[in-house]
């Protein structure tokens, strides 16, 4: 269970959707899921102009090293459909493999900030998990049809991703390979928060249908037990 908890969550490359109503608690749990990952993590945060973080928020504590944190406004994470379509139209007229062309075009459609995060990933070995907190702030910028291709492209060319969604559940969550729901209050009471696994892993405690208190999830206890 320990080995699964540390590396099996994100190896091989996968996508995880973590949803709940308490933004501070969600960020702490997301941090716990990636903090001990062998490849580390890169953390992107969608920040609104004038946003004031709650005192209990992970980002307020500045535990994430500056070189791992990228803060962006929502509009900076818009897909670039135009450049992707231009690339697709031009390259499909060449002799290049069609699947390769489509994959390249999908990569170009990714936001510039996402491409930057991917470019910072090492070529081999365990890769950092790409975390995106405040992901719910992108809902108005992404159609239902664009979520799946975006998630799959990030995983295909970059590595694992973890989206943190502090809002009501949306159908787009089904485009992720794993879906977790977190119900809890303030971070100091994290042990009593309940994690429900909608789409889980084939082994370990986080299987589909599981419902656990966070105190029963080893990877969370290992990290949050040291700071709360």
Query: What local confidence, expressed as pLDDT, does residue 45 receive?
Result: 93
Q: What is the 3-state secondary structure (H, E, C) of 100-118?
A: HHHHHHHHHHCCHHHHHHH
Give the end-to-end CA distance of the chain in Å, rounded to a whole number: 23
Alpha carbon separation from 195 to 26, 56, 99, 205, 215 (Å, rounded) = 11, 20, 38, 11, 10
We report the CATH number of the domain holding residue 222 as 3.40.50
Q: Return the pLDDT at 102.
A: 53
The pair of structure tokens assigned to 212 is 């656990």
Contacts of 134 (CB under 8 A, 6+ apart): 23, 45, 46, 47, 164, 166
What is the enclosing helix (H) or strand (E) of 45? strand 41-46
- Gap between the Cα atoms of 57 and 24, Å rounded: 4
What the block records as the tokens of 177 is 């390979």
pLDDT(29) > 60: yes
Strand pairing report for 69-72 and 211-213 = unpaired
Arithmetic mean of pLDDT, 138-145? 86
Highest mean pLDDT among 61-75, 78-92, 197-211: 197-211
Residue 61 above 50 pLDDT? yes
Strand partners, 18: 164, 180
Q: Token pair for residue 165?
A: 């969604």
In a domain, 122, yes or no: no
User: What's the alpha-carbon Rg for the chain, to the nearest Å?
Assistant: 18
Closest by Cα among 103, 83, 102 to 154: 103
133 in any annotated domain: yes
Q: What is the pLDDT of residue 108?
A: 59
CB neighbourhood size of 101 (10 A): 18
Q: Examine residue 92 and state whether it is found in any structural domain, yes or no.
A: no
Q: How confident is the model at residue 3 (pLDDT cuts 50, 70, 90)?
A: very low
Instruction: Report yes or no on 215 lying in a domain.
Output: yes
The answer to whether position 88 is within a domain reads no
Structural domain includes residue 60: yes
Flag whether 208 is in a domain: yes
What is the C-alpha to C-alpha distance for residues 40 and 24, in angstroms, rounded to an integer?
Answer: 21
- pLDDT: which is higher, 198 or 4: 198
Which residue segment(s) compose the domain that 167 sits in? 2-77+128-227
Question: In the chain, how many domains are there?
Answer: 1
In a domain, 107, yes or no: no
Predicted local distance difference test score (pLDDT) of residue 154: 86
């Amino acid at each position: 269970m320990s080995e699964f908890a540390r590396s099996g969550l994100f190896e091989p490359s996968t996508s995880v959707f973590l949803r709940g109503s308490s933004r501070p608690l969600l960020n702490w749990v997301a941090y716990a899921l990636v903090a001990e990952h062998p490849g580390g993590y890169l953390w992107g945060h969608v920040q609104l102009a004038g946003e004031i973080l709650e005192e209990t928020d992970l980002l307020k504590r500045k535990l994430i090293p500056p070189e791992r944190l990228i803060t962006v406004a929502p509009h900076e994470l818009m897909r670039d459909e135009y450049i992707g379509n231009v690339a697709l139209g031009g390259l499909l007229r060449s002799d290049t493999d069609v699947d390769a062309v489509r994959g390249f075009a999908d990569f170009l459609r990714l936001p510039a900030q996402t491409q930057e995060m991917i470019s910072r990933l090492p070529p081999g070995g365990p890769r950092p998990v790409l975390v995106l907190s405040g992901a719910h702030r992108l809902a108005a910028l992404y159609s239902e049809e664009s979520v799946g291709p975006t998630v799959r492209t990030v995983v295909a060319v970059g590595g694992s991703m973890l989206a943190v969604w502090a809002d009501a559940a949306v159908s787009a969550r089904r485009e992720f390979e794993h879906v977790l729901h977190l119900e809890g209050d303030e971070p100091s009471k994290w042990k009593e928060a309940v994690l429900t696994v909608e789409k889980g892993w084939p082994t370990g405690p986080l299987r589909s249908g599981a419902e656990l208190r966070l105190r029963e999830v080893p990877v969370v206890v290992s990290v949050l037990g040291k700071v709360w």
